[in-house]
């Protein structure tokens, strides 16, 4: 990639309206927000002026970063709709966006891209992070460009859908920011027969499959950590909790603290990811490998980019039949729990492949400020 000097550059980054951001955001949320905060800091460290558009109440104590707000705090799960809040955030700061050298939309609805399509010369070069399912195309224009997908699988899926625009899609793994994790890990400090679920409590993430495993494997301990934010599946979550409370080998912690998450990542025997949907990447699995944990997941989405079957864990075939899936995951777990996996090799895979600063940040910098894709939006 070409060498890019950022000292005279101004970069604007638009965050979604779902969370307030600050220097401790990585302790509460995984994936998109910590990654984008890291991008802002990396740009600023190289001398760029970084404008962060985020919900009211956000703050980042970092040189060369300035926060801009609209009229709203983060979404409360009800009203107004997130799209209207994002629109307000952008309309409140159009002057800042117009004077920038580049804009990164790391949000959900692409309203700034819509404005740029209406006024091509009035806005600078714009790129979008894309961590949605490839079929969720509502946020993309008819002829998208400068789209940075979070995995090769997402990128190739989008290229297949827009076959005449292959050069407009890139990938940069939404990998780990190592500064947010312990640098020294005791790989021998594992509790036997302790399995971790670390994801959102939502149907698509499959926490009910963990409950079914617990019913079948009563000598194993299952710890379930995750958030309930905006799942809008209250009845489903209550049902999970009621069944879990009746089982001696299940522990559920809703909206777990950072300290609790790190503790169980350090001490669990392995990480279980029974997600039903095609996962764009899978932050919980990256964290699991970093702490030397073997993985068990359905063969969905970008799973095979994260780890290798029988090298860092098992990958379970997925079908359209829910009963078959539960049976296959349960049978795979029987072999998986006794499978010996080298924890150092698991950790090293993250170091070698998913170092966000080393491998992904240069892609963002090149797409935003390099010579790639200067064609107008159509």
Q: What is the pLDDT of residue 231?
A: 54
Per-residue confidence (pLDDT) for residue 138, from 0 to 100: 62
- Between CA 20 and CA 155 the distance in angstroms is 28
Q: Is 163 exposed, middle or buried (CB count within 10 Å of its CB: 0-12, 13-18, 19+)? A: exposed
CB-based contacts of 250, cutoff 8 Å, min separation 6:
210, 211, 214, 222, 224, 244
List of domains in the chain? 10-175+355-369 (3.40.50.2000), 180-353 (3.40.50.2000)
Query: Per the structure block, which two tokens stand in for 131?
Result: 């961590």
pLDDT at res. 166 = 65
Say what the pLDDT of residue 376 is: 44
pTM for this entry: 0.93
**Each residue's pLDDT expressed in tens, for the chain with a length of 378 residues:** 568 999 999 999 999 998 899 999 988 877 678 899 999 999 999 999 999 999 999 999 999 999 999 999 999 888 899 999 999 999 999 999 999 999 999 887 889 998 998 998 999 999 999 887 777 766 676 778 899 999 999 999 988 888 877 678 999 999 999 999 999 999 999 999 999 999 989 999 999 999 999 999 999 999 999 876 655 677 888 899 999 999 999 999 988 899 999 999 999 999 999 999 899 999 999 999 999 999 999 999 999 999 999 999 999 999 999 999 999 999 999 999 999 999 999 999 999 999 999 999 999 999 999 865 444 444
Query: CA-to-CA distance for 143 and 319, rounded, in angstroms?
Result: 33
């Amino acid at each position: 990639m070409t060498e890019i000097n950022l000292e005279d550059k101004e970069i604007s980054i638009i965050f979604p309206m779902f969370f307030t951001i600050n220097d401790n955001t990585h302790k509460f949320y995984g994936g998109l927000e910590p990654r984008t905060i890291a991008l802002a800091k990396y740009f600023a460290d190289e001398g760029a002026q970084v404008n962060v558009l985020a919900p009211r109440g956000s703050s980042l104590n970092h040189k060369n970063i300035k926060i801009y707000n609209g009229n709203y705090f983060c979404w409360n799960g009800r009203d107004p709709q997130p799209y209207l809040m994002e629109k307000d955030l952008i309309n409140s700061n159009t002057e800042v966006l117009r004077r920038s050298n580049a804009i990164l939309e790391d949000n959900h609805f692409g309203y700034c891209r819509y404005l740029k399509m209406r006024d091509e010369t009035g806005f600078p070069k714009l790129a979008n992070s894309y961590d949605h399912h490839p079929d969720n195309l509502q946020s993309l224009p008819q002829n998208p460009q400068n789209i940075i997908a979070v995995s090769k699988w997402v990128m190739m899926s989008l290229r297949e859908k827009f076959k005449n625009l292959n050069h407009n899609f890139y990938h940069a793994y939404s990998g780990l920011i190592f500064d947010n994790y312990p640098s020294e890990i005791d790989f021998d400090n594992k509790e036997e027969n302790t399995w971790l679920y670390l994801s959102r409590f939502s149907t698509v993430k499959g926490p009910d499959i963990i409950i079914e495993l617990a019913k079948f494997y009563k000598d194993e301990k299952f710890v379930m950590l995750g958030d309930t934010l905006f799942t809008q599946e209250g009845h489903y979550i209550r049902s999970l909790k009621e069944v879990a409370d009746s089982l001696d080998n299940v522990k559920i912690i809703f909206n777990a603290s950072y300290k609790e998450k790190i503790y169980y990542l350090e001490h669990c025997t392995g990480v279980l990811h029974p997600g039903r949907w095609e996962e764009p990447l899978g932050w919980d699995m990256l964290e699991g490998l970093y702490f030397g944990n073997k993985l068990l997941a359905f063969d969905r989405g970008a799973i095979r980019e994260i780890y290798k079957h029988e090298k860092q864990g098992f990958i379970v075939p997925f079908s359209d039949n829910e009963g078959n899936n539960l049976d296959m995951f349960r049978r795979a777990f029987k072999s998986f729990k006794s499978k010996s996996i080298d924890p150092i090799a698991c950790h090293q895979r993250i170091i070698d492949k998913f170092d966000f600063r080393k491998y992904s940040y240069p892609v963002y910098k090149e797409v935003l400020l390099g010579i790639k894709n200067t064609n107008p939006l159509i």
